[in-house]
Structure 1
Amino acid sequence: MNIYYYYRFSGGNKTGVDKKVISQIKNLSDLGVNCTLFCICLGNEEFQYPEINVKNVRLKGTNKKGISNKINREKLVNIEFENLIQSLNHDDIIYMRSPYPSPQISRILKNKRRCKIVIEYQTIEPLEYKTKKKYWYLLIDYLFGNDIRKYTDGIVGVTEEITQYQLSRSGNPSKPHITIGNGFDINSVPIRNPPEFSGDELHLLCVANVSPWHGLDRLIRGMAEYKGPTKVVLHIAGDGSEVPVLKNLAKNLNISDQVIFHSFLSGKDLDILFDKCHIAVGSLGIQRKGLKQTSELKAREYCARGMPFVIACDDPDFPKDFPYILHLPPNESLIDIKQVIAFTERIFVNPENSRKMCEYAIEHLDWSVKMKKLKGSLEDLVYDNDNV
């Protein structure tokens, strides 16, 4: 069995998704799978990572803005996709994140082929398009999206909610499918050295490419509403479309000094920030996508580093009684800061909590665990068993 991980790369700093793909390929390779990253490079950079097998295909001039340029870019991307399909054999699998629907991609998938194609889904696309107000994409998905589910060979969803939605759109309830939550490379980050919590100051940390569904506006409004003795400071490490919105919100609420924007951080700079903060912040607005479950990469990093966190959704990779997560209401109410402080006080009683969280991450969240499950499913697919 040979796996070709088909991936689009736009250049710049390695994102959480880039790191996920690297970890998936590394761990599949460690399990003896012949795995290649087939990388479509849309910017001026090639994807470089010496520990995995990478084939870069550069498409020059495809990072320009504008509708006509986007249409041309997708044509070129799909040509490379079709060329890859035609070059492969019966024991080959193309593994990829969901492509953009189009008449061209529908035609390609309907053609006969020797290889298998498995799609990994991270979301329910129409709900996300509505959130982003991308109504043109919503129409395209309505017209051509079902073909992607119907004419590919397997579905991998990161939550059962997502898997069942994608399966329903395939029109075939017996189509090979599996749910595998996101993982994390546990060895890539250190266990943090938590600060003391005296009750005078509470430092919160969110690491994200900040979007509306992270719901940080709920937290900032809750901070403005809170009048207790503890000074609450939110650190945001990351860029994203929502950052200017949150800056204006903090300014209008007169708490700009309590919301610190660090932009993108990595390496030692990020390690230092983890050691400074008490509690991490996961998604507080996933309901804005119409979802009830999530499988966030950042939540796995928080657990690997041994940092308790708050979320406002269900993450099936964690038990409902997991003591290091505070579950907040999945709605538009203000975050109750008193509740977060009480959670912090309880957590910081036991100095062993960071170690216990890391042990849980090693056993349940590491990519080595996740990829064993994926390897078995893909082998079943290649050898024509009933399920992925």
Structure 2
Amino acid sequence: MRIAYLTHFNLSPESGVAKKIASTIRIWRDLNAEVVLYVITRQADVADWALSLGGKAFIYTGGSYSVKKLSAIGRATKDILRWKPHAVYLRRDLVYPGYVQLAVQLPLVQEVNSDELAELKLYSRTQYLYHLTTRNLLDRRTKGWVFVTRELCAVHPYFSRLPGRKIVIANGIDLERFPHLPPSAAPQPTLAFLGHPAPWHGVDKILRLAQMFPGWRFHLIGVAEEEFPDSPPNVFFHGRLSFSEYLPILTESHAAIGTLALHRNHMHEASPLKVREYLALGLPTIIGYKDTDFPQGAPFLLELPNVENNVDFAADAILRFVEEWKNKRVPRSEVLHLDLKKKERERLRFLKEVANAL
């Protein structure tokens, strides 16, 4: 089966999303699929990353609606149409003419990772209005949908009504590529967060935790100090780091912190990549949502209510959780169902079903 994996990507090649894409492509190839990664980007390091995966990069300059970006998407579209894959796998993006053209001529499957309209409303009114008025041009032509949560697939007022085949595949992780860490030897409770300071991640809540527990240490990986001036002295900002650079920080951490403010984009369920990485490494984790892969919860996940003041009234629960897990790690046997190999077999079967249905 020939698959064109298409993504508009301007994050770090070290990000969780980049790791997920790379692992997906490698596993699909191991399962005898012929895959070409098509990346639309304005970053030279992302272009190099795409080429290292045997993919193709289409570089542009300018903003979301620049002529050069439209041209880059147009070139990628022409290349895909010439190749004639059995399916196009698109990581959901704003709508562009090239995407619509692909959906008209080839079976196109979209991967939906969040309520992007709610996220855009927090960032850009222009992009929010553009996406609100144009998304149906692509969505009504889309043949298949992969959602990372049941909430997005079955409950969301827009996605639940869309035509096309649908499947829920929560985010996973390639477990064999991550070591299982020994318990931390740090003398004082140490917690880590991995990600960027998006509103729904709740970095401001982590700063409140640091004030509530001045004897603990909080490491924020992927967050710059200038973004949060006047932070408590027990908060340590590390900015963007590679895996080899931040692994020692996670090794000394007793627990990790996941998404704490999903309510800010009106969602209640998620399967964040960073939480999969924490669990693969063995770190018990504090979260503020329902995890798709742990619908009944788990002893190593402290699930706070998905409300604005969750960390404030859960201080005692957080203290007990960190104390309980301070000298332990999450057994690898408890997270085997997160392994990406099983999930990618399921995703590949779904792509074949969509392609064969036409």
| TM-score, normalisation: structure 1 | 0.83
1:74 corresponds in structure 2 to: 69
The alignment covers a number of residue pairs equal to 355
* Distance in 1, Cα, partners of 2:133 & 2:210: 44
Shift of 1:264: 1.8
Distance 1:3 1:119, change over 3 A: same
1:63 corresponds in structure 2 to: 61
Structure 1, 154-163 or 298-307: larger mean CA deviation: 154-163
Q: 1:191 aligns with which of 176, 180, 183?
A: 180
Structure 1, 201-210 or 294-303: larger mean CA deviation: 201-210
Amino acid of the structure 2 residue aligned with 1:145: R
Q: 2:131 aligns with which of 141, 155, 169?
A: 141
* Distance in 1, Cα, partners of 2:51 & 2:172: 21
Shift of 1:347: 2.4
Shift of 1:322: 0.8
Shift of 1:327: 0.8
Identity of aligned residues (%): 24
Structure 1 position 40 matched with structure 2 position 30: no
1:178 corresponds in structure 2 to: 167
Q: What is the 5 A alignment of 1:313-352?
A: 313-333=289-309, 335=311, 336-348=314-326, 351=328
Amino acid of the structure 2 residue aligned with 1:287: H
Structure 1, 363-372 or 76-85: larger mean CA deviation: 76-85
Matched residue SS, 1:262: strand
Shift of 1:50: 7.9
Kept in 1: contact 2:4–2:80 (CA 8 A): no
Shift of 1:16: 1.6
Kept in 1: contact 2:9–2:40 (CA 8 A): yes
2:142 corresponds in structure 1 to: 152
Distance 1:154 1:165, change over 3 A: farther
* Distance in 2, Cα, partners of 1:11 & 1:301: 17
Distance 1:11 1:381, change over 3 A: closer
* Distance in 1, Cα, partners of 2:210 & 2:307: 17
Greater radius of gyration (CA): 1
* Distance in 1, Cα, partners of 2:22 & 2:345: 16
* Distance in 2, Cα, partners of 1:47 & 1:366: 27
Stretches of structure 1 lacking an aligned partner (at least 5 in a row): none
Distance 1:108 1:282, change over 3 A: same
1:19 corresponds in structure 2 to: 19
2:119 corresponds in structure 1 to: 128
1:144-180 Cα distance to aligned partner (Å, 9 max, x none): 111221111111111112223679458545x211111
Matched residue SS, 1:53: coil
Matched residue SS, 2:290: coil
Kept in 2: contact 1:26–1:51 (CA 8 A): no
1:232 corresponds in structure 2 to: 216
Amino acid of the structure 2 residue aligned with 1:47: D
2:82 corresponds in structure 1 to: 87
* Distance in 2, Cα, partners of 1:49 & 1:359: 33
Stretches of structure 2 lacking an aligned partner (at least 5 in a row): none
CA RMSD of aligned residues (A): 2.6
Amino acid of the structure 2 residue aligned with 1:300: R
Kept in 1: contact 2:8–2:93 (CA 8 A): no
Distance 1:204 1:51, change over 3 A: same
Matched residue SS, 2:182: coil
| TM-score, normalisation: structure 2 | 0.90
Q: What is the 5 A alignment of 1:189-338?
A: 189-196=178-185, 201-226=188-213, 231-239=215-223, 244-248=226-230, 250=231, 255=232, 257-333=233-309, 335=311, 336-338=314-316
Shift of 1:116: 1.0
Structure 1, 73-82 or 159-168: larger mean CA deviation: 159-168
Amino acid of the structure 1 residue aligned with 2:107: K
Distance 1:34 1:109, change over 3 A: closer
2:351 corresponds in structure 1 to: 378
* Distance in 2, Cα, partners of 1:212 & 1:11: 17
Distance 1:106 1:191, change over 3 A: closer
* Distance in 1, Cα, partners of 2:52 & 2:263: 38
Distance 1:126 1:50, change over 3 A: closer
* Distance in 2, Cα, partners of 1:321 & 1:172: 30
Q: 2:108 aligns with which of 111, 117, 123?
A: 117
Matched residue SS, 1:146: helix
Distance 1:189 1:98, change over 3 A: same
Matched residue SS, 1:182: coil
Kept in 2: contact 1:219–1:334 (CA 8 A): no
* Distance in 2, Cα, partners of 1:10 & 1:127: 20
Matched residue SS, 1:370: helix
